[in-house]
């Protein structure tokens, strides 16, 4: 397992180098654990290949699962168009950017797991939380990719929420 | 033979179930609502003046320590629970999440009937109306109990009784009337389109044959504004509708600057009102304007009739007077809460406390300001003691994108957890939540379906004066404005207060405690722990001659205060479920016996 991870790292670094550190190239390379793996490495590499929500960090089918979970656990406060009401903030558009712009998906995830749903904070599975985040990203028109958003907190910390690619 | 026997038993069982009803039910009259029998809890705060006070005195400061569980009842775990039970003639009418109402024998908890709204088809998205850009997500109707449904809301705080009917409001903006004997639906009136965001979280009151209720879900931009309505109790027919927002061109309309109607949001009437037969006025609160911050909603105006107390004629809905507590409110500091009507110092007064922890005393005949008592925790405003005029302290009006720091947090020191008044001590009993926050307000989309409260980046923190606690139960003398006593708790106070003539007051906290306090001294006479957070509205009543104290427990998702504990005191845990009602009584002869339903 360990060896496998190492070779993945190597492949990743190689691909990043080959691609000239372009974010797109990392995504295209399709390494599901890219960000996880990279997180342990030197700042130089981190800085250069940190991803953003524009890099296809979730899949369409994951967002579909997230949609179902949203309908189970979030919709009565955040509403069917995610624009919120009363105590629940809007999760899309300008509001989302204001609340989460320049922060990481990891920070968003940590916050949601800490306080949501308000009746039973942390009451969903880690997978359900990231699925719901995938759905929120989709509703904010961030592109889907080939690889699911994982549950690893460190990996999520590596994905930044930015208003433009 | 054997088969035949079991069939006949089954048939008998079914017919018993079908005919279960409240026996010897006597219709509730207008006179009873105005002056309930001592053993009854007929209005959401027992009396129409919203005291939350019972004249029962079997439970006293001497014997409260002997209180023990008499019976308990699991409530639906399908949503947030902030229930205020009613009790009439030994029968408890208990509101549960998502419109469920049950009639229980108040001495035993035996179920007499239950009303479960049928599953209505989820309304499909519609382009009409202004409910926002519709998406491909079907609207989840909040009224029926959906299997595995969303626990976030479904709140049904209060219900009302009059004649032979029980009245409730629903999360999809209907008012319903049930037969109080059988629980059968008598009428169902759709008051507003829930696809526009409209909903009810608080129930009605009944005055002179009119069912009066206030709508909420008023924060999104739409070509309509929120309101309070009056309905014929017999038929549900709407008799009047009074807007809680001044429209352009109407009196007060200029207090929104030049904003068109679409961008005048808020004024949610989300707490049940009071009534005074002497003035023949209904008193109802309104919430703040939306979006919360002036800079976001685009006007510095007072924004009438938000964050006000309205005095309405119950027959016509005509506004006799209004008093706006915080003109141009800008921080989500609600003043919408209960209106407690007390005659004191020769004045027919109305007392109200909002999130800032300022106890307002108004003349309830004229709406004139009498007095404001600041309990001393807020850092936002100064109040002129003679006029009641509110001035924001320097730097406290939020600007877009700039962080400000104030107390309380958006949870408020006081929220829907109603205070109680005891005429024995002349004290108001205040369930409080103590916190502060640093917050930055952001923009909203200024178009139909946009708006809302506006996004806020916030960091809550514990109130510096609270010595590490998040909760306080305080007795405040309304004559002197002095604090008689306080009891701080690590978690927020989480129920309404209940005062009794036995000199005992009750309240509970997020951390599952229920306390019985000596009303005069604050000494804790008795305490116990519940399955989950103490919640909703504790009540007391007589059943078969014996005094009971009923305390709801449960998860409440619809309030900021619920979020404070996980965030600021994560070491305090509670189960993620457990909606229930726990009923306590003294040991002894007339204690609860498991008898059949009445």
Inter-chain residue contact A120 with B555, CB threshold 8 Å: yes
Interface test with chain B among A63, A64, A66, A81, by most B beta carbons within 10 Å: A81
B534 in Cβ contact with B562 (< 8 Å): no
Percent of chain A with pLDDT over 90: 51
List the structure tokens of B93.
């009418």
Mean pLDDT value across chain B: 90
Query: CA-CA distance, B492 to B488, in Å (whole number)?
Result: 9
With beta carbons under 8 A apart, name residues in chain B contacting A83: 132-133, 220, 449-450, 452
pLDDT value of position B18? 54
pLDDT value of position B25? 97
With beta carbons under 8 A apart, name residues in chain B contacting A115: 563, 566-567
CA nearest to A117 within chain B: B152
Inter-chain residue contact B444 with A95, CB threshold 8 Å: yes
Count CA atoms closer than 13 A to A13's CA, side-chain side: 15
Inter-chain residue contact A87 with B558, CB threshold 8 Å: yes
Query: CA-CA distance, A6 to B549, in Å (whole number)?
Result: 65
Inter-chain residue contact B135 with A94, CB threshold 8 Å: no
User: pLDDT-based confidence at B129, cuts 50/70/90?
Assistant: very low
Find tokens 């509703």 and name the residue: A139
Residue-wise pLDDT for B35-52, tens only, equals 999 999 999 999 999 999
Residue extents of the structural domains in chain A? 49-160
Strand order in the sheet with B281-285: B274-276, B281-285, B308-312, B319-324
pLDDT value of position B119? 52
Kindly tell me if the per-residue pLDDT of B174 is higher than 50.
yes
Inter-chain residue contact B453 with A120, CB threshold 8 Å: no
Query: CA-CA distance, B519 to B517, in Å (whole number)?
Result: 6
Query: CA-CA distance, B583 to B73, in Å (whole number)?
Result: 9
Kindly tell me if the per-residue pLDDT of B310 is higher than 70.
yes
A160 in Cβ contact with A53 (< 8 Å): yes
With beta carbons under 8 A apart, name residues in chain B contacting A161: none
Inter-chain residue contact B152 with A95, CB threshold 8 Å: no
- Mean pLDDT (whole number) for A31-56: 54
Q: Which CATH architecture has domain A49-160?
A: Orthogonal Bundle (1.10)
Q: Chain B window 123-182: which residues touch A at a Cβ cutoff of 8 Å?
A: 125, 132-135, 137-140, 142, 148-154, 171
**Could you give the 3-state DSSP secondary structure of residue A70?**
helix
Pairing type for strands A159-160 and A51-52 reads parallel
Interface predicted TM-score (ipTM) of this complex, two decimals: 0.80
Residue-wise pLDDT for A90-141, tens only, equals 999 999 999 999 999 999 999 999 888 887 788 899 999 999 999 999 999 9
Percent of chain B with pLDDT over 90: 81
List the structure tokens of B66.
């002997």
B548 in Cβ contact with B541 (< 8 Å): yes
Q: Give the one of A71, A95, A115 whose C-beta lies nearest to B137's C-beta.
A: A71
pLDDT value of position A40? 36
With beta carbons under 8 A apart, name residues in chain A contacting B149: 72
Find tokens 């103490």 and name the residue: B534
pLDDT value of position B98? 86
Interface of A with B (CB under 8 A): 67, 70-77, 79-87, 89-90, 93-96, 98-99, 114-115, 117-123, 139
B357 in Cβ contact with B374 (< 8 Å): yes
Residue-wise pLDDT for B203-225, tens only, equals 999 999 999 999 999 999 999 99
Query: CA-CA distance, B207 to B211, in Å (whole number)?
Result: 7
Query: CA-CA distance, B189 to B165, in Å (whole number)?
Result: 14
Kindly tell me if the per-residue pLDDT of B404 is higher than 80.
yes
pLDDT top residue among A46 and B367: B367
pLDDT value of position B15? 42
DSSP B174-226: EEEEEETTT--EEEEEE-S-GGGT-B-SS--EEETTEEEEE-B---B--SS--
> Peptide bond before B297: cis, by omega within 30 degrees of 0?
no
What DSSP designation does A75 have? Answer: H
Residue-wise pLDDT for A130-148, tens only, equals 999 999 999 999 999 999 9
CA nearest to A84 within chain B: B452
Kindly tell me if the per-residue pLDDT of A164 is higher than 90.
no
pLDDT value of position B577? 84
pLDDT value of position A49? 54
Measured in angstroms, the CA of A69 and the nearest CA of chain B are apart by: 9
For chain A, the distance separating the N- and C-terminal CA atoms, rounded to the nearest angstrom, is 34
Cα distances from B329 to residues B50, B263, B324, B406, B583, in angstroms, run 25, 16, 10, 14, 40
- Mean pLDDT (whole number) for B237-257: 97
Query: CA-CA distance, B72 to B497, in Å (whole number)?
Result: 20
List the structure tokens of A63.
């967002």
pLDDT value of position B576? 79
- Mean pLDDT (whole number) for A6-28: 36
Residue-wise pLDDT for B444-489, tens only, equals 989 998 899 999 999 999 999 999 999 999 999 999 999 999 999 9
B495 in Cβ contact with B516 (< 8 Å): no
- Mean pLDDT (whole number) for B563-592: 87
Inter-chain residue contact A79 with B455, CB threshold 8 Å: no
Kindly tell me if the per-residue pLDDT of A76 is higher than 90.
no
Global pTM value: 0.87
pLDDT value of position B262? 96
């Amino acid at each position: 397992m360990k060896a496998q991870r190492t070779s993945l790292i190597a492949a990743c670094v190689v691909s990043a180098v080959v691609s000239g550190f372009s974010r797109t190239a990392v995504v295209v390379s399709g390494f599901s654990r890219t960000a996880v793996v990279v997180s342990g490495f030197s700042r130089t590499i981190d800085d250069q290949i940190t991803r953003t929500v524009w890099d296809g960090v979730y899949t369409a089918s994951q967002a579909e699962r997230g949609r179902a979970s949203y309908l189970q656990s979030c919709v009565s406060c955040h509403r069917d168009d995610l624009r919120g009401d009363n105590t629940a903030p809007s999760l899309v558009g300008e509001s989302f950017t204001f609340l989460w712009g320049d922060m990481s998906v990891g920070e968003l995830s940590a916050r949601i797991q800490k306080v949501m749903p308000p009746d039973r904070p942390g009451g969903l599975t880690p997978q359900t939380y990231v699925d719901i985040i995938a759905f929120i990203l989709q509703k904010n028109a961030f592109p889907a990719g080939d690889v699911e958003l994982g549950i690893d907190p460190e990996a999520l910390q590596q994905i930044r929420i930015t208003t433009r690619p | 033979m054997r088969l035949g026997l079991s069939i006949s038993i089954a048939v008998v069982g079914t017919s018993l179930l079908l005919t279960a009803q409240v026996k010897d039910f006597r219709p509730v009259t207008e006179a009873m609502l105005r002056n309930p029998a001592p053993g009854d809890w007929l209005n959401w705060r027992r009396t129409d003046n919203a005291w939350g006070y019972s004249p029962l005195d079997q439970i006293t400061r001497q014997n409260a320590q002997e209180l023990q569980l008499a019976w308990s009842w699991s409530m639906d775990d399908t949503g947030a629970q902030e229930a205020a039970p009613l009790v009439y003639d030994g029968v408890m009418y208990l509101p549960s999440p998502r419109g469920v109402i049950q009639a229980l024998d108040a001495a035993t908890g035996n179920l007499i009937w239950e009303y479960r709204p049928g599953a209505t088809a989820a309304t499909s998205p519609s382009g009409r109306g202004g409910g926002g850009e519709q998406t491909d997500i079907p609207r989840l109707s909040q009224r029926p109990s959906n299997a595995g449904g969303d626990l976030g809301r479904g709140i049904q705080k209060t219900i009302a009784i009059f004649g032979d009917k029980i009245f409730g409001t629903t999360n999809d903006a209907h008012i319903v009337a049930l037969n109080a004997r059988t629980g059968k639906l008598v009428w169902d009136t759709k008051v507003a389109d829930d696809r526009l965001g409209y909903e009810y979280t608080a129930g009605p009151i009944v005055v002179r044959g009119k069912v009066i209720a206030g709508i909420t879900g008023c924060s999104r931009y739409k070509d309509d504004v929120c309101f309070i309505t009056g309905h014929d109790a017999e038929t549900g027919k709407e008799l009047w509708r009074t807007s809680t927002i001044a429209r352009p061109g109407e009196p007060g309309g200029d207090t929104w600057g030049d904003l068109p109607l679409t961008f005048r949001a808020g004024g949610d009437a989300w707490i049940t009102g009071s009534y005074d037969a002497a003035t023949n006025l209904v008193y109802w609160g309104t919430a703040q304007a939306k979006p919360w911050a002036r800079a976001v909603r685009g006007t510095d105006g007072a924004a009438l009739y938000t964050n006000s107390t309205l005095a309405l004629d119950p027959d016509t809905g005509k506004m006799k007077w209004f008093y706006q507590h915080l003109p141009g409110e800008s921080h989500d500091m609600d003043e919408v809460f209960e209106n407690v009507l007390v005659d004191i110092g020769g004045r027919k007064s109305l007392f109200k406390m909002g999130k800032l922890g300022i106890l307002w005393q108004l003349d309830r005949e004229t709406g004139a300001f009498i007095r404001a008592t600041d309990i001393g925790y807020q850092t936002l405003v100064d109040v002129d003691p003679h006029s009641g005029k509110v001035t924001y302290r320097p730097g406290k009006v939020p600007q877009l994108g700039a962080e400000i720091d104030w107390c309380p947090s958006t949870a408020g020191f006081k929220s829907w957890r109603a205070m109680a008044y005891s005429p024995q001590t002349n004290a108001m009993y205040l369930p409080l939540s103590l916190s502060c926050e640093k917050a930055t307000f952001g923009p909203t989309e200024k178009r139909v379906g946009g708006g809302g409260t506006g996004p806020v980046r916030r960091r809550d923190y514990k109130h510096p004066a609270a010595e590490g606690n998040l909760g306080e139960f305080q007795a405040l003398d309304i004559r002197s404005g002095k604090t008689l006593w306080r009891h701080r708790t690590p978690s927020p106070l989480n129920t309404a207060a209940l005062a009794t003539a036995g000199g005992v007051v009750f309240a509970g906290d997020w951390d599952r405690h229920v306390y019985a306090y000596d009303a005069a001294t604050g000494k804790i006479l008795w305490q116990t722990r519940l399955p989950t957070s103490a919640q909703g509205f504790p009540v007391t009543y007589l059943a078969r001659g014996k005094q009971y104290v009923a305390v709801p427990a449960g998860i409440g998702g619809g309030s900021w205060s619920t979020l404070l504990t996980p965030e600021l005191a994560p070491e305090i845990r509670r189960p993620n479920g457990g909606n229930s009602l726990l009923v306590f009584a003294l040991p002894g002869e007339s204690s609860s016996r498991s008898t059949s339903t009445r």
